Amino acid sequence: MEIIKEKTVAFTGNRTLTTSTGHPDNNLENVIRTELYYVLEELYQEGKNTFLSGMAIGFVGWQQRQFLI
């Protein structure tokens, strides 16, 4: 597979989102997932067609699942 830098995007991020008390922050997660959907759609519309991921749990996993939906 040839990777063309101009058409490639890489993602990284937190493993989990928690409040200051260490509990999961579901509201923040939903906001970020929604924004991520729109960012990925925009990148695709701009011609990006290769998306690289570190395969981590959390943000990067969300990004991966957006492509499977």
| Torsion of the alpha carbons at 36, 38, 40 and 45, rounded to the nearest 10 | -170
Residue 44 has what pLDDT?
Answer: 93
Is there a domain that residue 10 lies in?
no
What tokens does 39 get? 């960012």
Is there a domain that residue 15 lies in?
no
In this prediction the pTM is 0.66
Is there a domain that residue 17 lies in?
no
Strand partners, 8: 50
Confidence of residue 15 (pLDDT cuts 50, 70, 90): low
Is there a domain that residue 48 lies in?
yes
Task: Check residues 69 and 33 and name the one with the higher pLDDT.
Answer: 33
Which residue, 17, 8, 15, is CA-closest to 52?
Answer: 8
Backbone conformation region of residue 47, classed left if phi is above 0, alpha if psi is from -120 to 50, else beta? left
Confidence of residue 64 (pLDDT cuts 50, 70, 90): low
Mean pLDDT, rounded, for 38-42: 92
Cα–Cα distance, 5 to 2 (Å, whole number): 10
